[in-house]
Amino acid sequence: MLIELTQDGSNTIFIPEWNERYHSKNGALQESIYVYIQNGLLHLQKSNIQILEIGFGTGLNVLLSLLYQKFDTQIIYTTLEPYPIPKSLYKQLNYTHLKNLHSLHQVFLTIHECKPAEWIGIRDNFQFIKHLIKVQDFETTQKYDLVYWDAFGPRVQPEMWSFELCKKIHHLLNPGGLIVTYCSQGQFKRNLKEAGFKVEVLPGPPFKREMTRASK
């Protein structure tokens, strides 16, 4: 796995064997803010928000959720990651050298180095837990308001966009709950509909035509 610089000056990770990146090469930061924060977190009208992230990866979505959290909201953030990246790699990521994210350097290390399956209070109004498992194996009675569906694309990981997973995520959401993702594959959107979601196709981040938001 290699660290790459994307168009907006933020890093991503490139997997040469798969020819797949953790984020868009046109701008990792820009894409994550647009898809997950602008069209997800900031779109929700709720003061107490249970977030589930599929694919912790670099931790960028956690940092951005902290950065954009409204002061009068409470976030309870659960992230899933079966293949955590090694320290040698995350230490090279430049996110906390970027404007606005400087103050989150210690948090960045904490979310990568914390014990799995243990709650930590990052702030009074931001609780965080990381499970080192696949979403397919994740069992809980908790219901979520917002899912950041940030798996690798259907070309390399078709099982992450399947009807079975759509059904599972639908079951994990509260009524009115949302999923947001960069992925806008036709089969995925059909799977979401069949699983009971109302699907919205939104304009994509720069250089990408579409993204998907769906609600229960």
Measured from the CB of residue 72, what is the shortest distance to ligand SAM in angstroms? 26
82, 89, 120, 143: which one contacts ligand SAM (CB under 6 A)? 82
Q: Residue 50 is which amino acid?
A: Q
Q: By CB under 6 A, tell whether 136 contacts ligand SAM.
A: yes
Give the whole-angstrom CA distance, residue 128 versus residue 182.
23
39, 50, 61, 191: which one contacts ligand SAM (CB under 6 A)? 61
- Tell me, what DSSP letter sits at residue 33? I
Q: By CB under 6 A, tell whether 27 contacts ligand SAM.
A: no
Take residue 139 and report the two structure tokens written for it. Answer: 């069992």
Take residue 19 and report the two structure tokens written for it. Answer: 């020819």
Over the window 164 to 193, marking each residue x when it contacts ligand SAM by CB under 6 A and - when it does not, the resulting string is ------------------------------
77, 144, 152, 188: which one contacts ligand SAM (CB under 6 A)? 152
Give the whole-angstrom CA distance, residue 99 versus residue 9.
11
Tell me the C-alpha to C-alpha distance, in Å, between residue 154 and each of 28, 129, 189: 19, 27, 12
| Angle subtended at Cα 86 by Cα 83 and Cα 88, rounded to the nearest 5 degrees | 160
Question: In terms of CB distance, is 90 or 197 closer to ligand SAM?
Answer: 90
37, 130, 150, 197: which one contacts ligand SAM (CB under 6 A)? 150
CB within 8 Å of 110: residues ≥ 6 apart: 120, 122
Residues that bind ligand SAM (CB under 6 A): 22, 32, 54-58, 60-61, 80-83, 134-136, 150-152
